Amino acid sequence: MVFTADAIAEPYGQKVFKKLQALNLNIEISKNNRIMGLRGKDERETYKIAKNTLAIVNAPPSAFNLRPIPPSADWQFHLAEGCPAHCQYCYLAGSLSGPPAIRVFANLPQILENTIKYERLHQLTSFEASCYTDPLSIEHLTGGLAETISHFAGRPQTHLRFVTKFANVDSLVTLEHGGNTRFRCSLNADVVARKLEGGTPGIAARLAGLRKMAQPKQMGGGGYPVGIVLAPIMPVPDWRIHYTKLLEDIEQHLDFDTDLTFELITHRFTPGSREVLMEWYPNTSLDFSENNRAIKRNKFGGHKYVFVKELMAELKKFFETELSRRFPKAKVLYWT
């Protein structure tokens, strides 16, 4: 754990400092605002050092110019960047550059205050907080997500969304959120999670966390609107059997009325993210070949590999049919 000089001077930085101190963690305070020593002798070693580094820094001025993030939300903002888990398809490989250290922003109160400028008058404005991190993965160390949920609870006409693969929801269950936060749980077939999602809680633990967050307050739950992000959907052998089991488990855990959405994302990669991931996980069993893949171009001239049309259609049909049968009241936000 390392704090930069500016970060330790921030009141929220101090709060995190005290939390880490109470956990008896080894803390360094840098004399300046640079985090040194993240590079190892090769990419593997750099990955190891960086993933084990939690740096508390101030977000740069550019973090205050919010960017839109369609179709997920109107705006994205960041409590932190990076994640301690080791998913072999991690989408951060294509969006964050440099060693994958975890950077927590000590100027979080200013970041939250800044979102107010982006609220539209008399209209709901949505904010996404998990583009560059899994915010629950570090919540026990920072408490930043609780601060964020509390901020949006006091802002009528706002909607906060985040997604997580983590399950340590107890500190969030009791919060007042005003119905303004949607807790989204990232799930996959157990066989995919076990093989590819290193350092994350298993599917059973995530489902238990989801249940707690979704249960009405009078049943002792958090009473949050919830969402399920099925990602990345992969046609592994016997995929119908594996995904059917997952949908059955979800049904069992959400056996009460709840405000529920689904987002369905098939596995995809860019040439750049593939290169980074192959360096981070040279022994991965993830299929990065171009078999069964089609190229999807974007308006900036880049491209990604998605599944071929026939396979996409087959997967889509399965999920659409199963979801409308099992969760008739839930809203499917998108398939991609």
Contact residues: ligand SF4, CB under 6 A: 83, 85-87, 90-92, 134, 165, 200
- Of the candidates 138, 163, 162, 146, which has an alpha carbon nearest to the alpha carbon of residue 51? 138
Which residue, 30 or 138, is less far from ligand SF4 as judged by CB? Answer: 138
Contact between 132 and 80 (Cβ < 8 Å): yes
Distance between CA 173 and CA 225 in Å, rounded? Answer: 12
Distance between CA 15 and CA 38 in Å, rounded? Answer: 25
- Of the candidates 42, 4, 43, which has an alpha carbon nearest to the alpha carbon of residue 277? 43
Residue that is written with structure tokens 């398939």 in the block: 335
Closest distance of CB 285 from ligand SF4, Å: 16
Distances (CA, A) of 210 to 160, 186, 231, 282, 328: 17, 10, 16, 33, 19
Closest distance of CB 60 from ligand SF4, Å: 21
Distance between CA 245 and CA 227 in Å, rounded? Answer: 18
Which residue, 58 or 188, is less far from ligand SF4 as judged by CB? Answer: 188
Which residue, 13 or 207, is less far from ligand SF4 as judged by CB? Answer: 207
Closest distance of CB 262 from ligand SF4, Å: 18
Closest distance of CB 100 from ligand SF4, Å: 9
Closest distance of CB 82 from ligand SF4, Å: 8
Residue 20: what are its φ and ψ, rounded to 5°? -70, -35
Contact between 149 and 164 (Cβ < 8 Å): no
- Of the candidates 311, 303, 307, which has an alpha carbon nearest to the alpha carbon of residue 287? 307
Which residue, 55 or 83, is less far from ligand SF4 as judged by CB? Answer: 83
Which residue, 76 or 200, is less far from ligand SF4 as judged by CB? Answer: 200
Which residue, 83 or 185, is less far from ligand SF4 as judged by CB? Answer: 83
